[in-house]
């Protein structure tokens, strides 16, 4: 009889041990799942989204780079082309685009290797023509290509190319 109680007690211990192991694995799985959810929330909380905007009137033209995302954008590279040719000289670019090189004012800001906060915009290019001259139209979308490579603070990178944003490995 003592042997039977011992075996019964040993069997009960094995059941409790197995139950404890199963509960431990369930707790581990829940913890791992929560960590994955938290990590995804952190990445979403600092997701940048860059979009260039063009504004023009009869006498002025602006190219703004806006961050419409939830976190800061680290701008790595900005490449412009005009009529399928890479732009090296922004002053010449503005004159050729607007059809006039006589500026009343011209502002050029390099945004390469800069940080744009969430909901911030930076005026990259701006030109104002004298009152005697006017911009008849801006065919900016038809003649130019804007390519911007930017990253989040976690090192995730994207490329904006004329309205299309794609994830890239890096901004080389």
pLDDT digits (tens, 9 = 90+) for 87-134: 999 999 988 888 888 888 999 999 999 999 999 999 999 998 887 777
Does the structure show a pLDDT above 80 at 13?
A: no
Report pTM. 0.76
Residue 93: strand, helix, or coil:
helix
Q: Percent of the chain having pLDDT more than 70? A: 89
Contact 82, 96 (CB under 8 A): yes
Residue 39: strand, helix, or coil:
helix
1-20 CB burial, b ≥16 within 10 A, e <16: eeeeeeeeeeeeeeeeeeee
């Amino acid at each position: 009889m003592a042997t039977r109680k011992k075996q019964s007690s040993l069997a009960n211990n094995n059941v409790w041990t197995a139950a404890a192991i199963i509960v431990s694995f369930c707790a581990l799985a829940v913890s791992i799942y929560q960590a994955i959810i938290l990590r995804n929330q952190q990445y979403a909380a600092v997701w940048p989204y860059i979009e260039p905007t063009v504004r023009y009137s009869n006498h002025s033209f602006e190219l703004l780079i806006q961050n419409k995302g939830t976190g800061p954008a680290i701008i790595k590279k900005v490449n412009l082309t005009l009529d399928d040719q890479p732009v090296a000289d922004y002053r010449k670019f503005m004159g050729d685009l607007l059809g006039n090189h006589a500026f009343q004012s011209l502002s050029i800001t390099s945004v390469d290797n800069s940080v744009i906060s969430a909901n911030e915009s930076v005026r990259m290019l701006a030109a104002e023509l004298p009152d005697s001259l006017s911009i008849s139209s801006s065919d900016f979308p038809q003649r130019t290509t804007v390519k911007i490579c930017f990253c989040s603070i976690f090192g995730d990178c994207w490329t904006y190319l004329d309205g299309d944003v794609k994830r890239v490995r890096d901004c080389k």
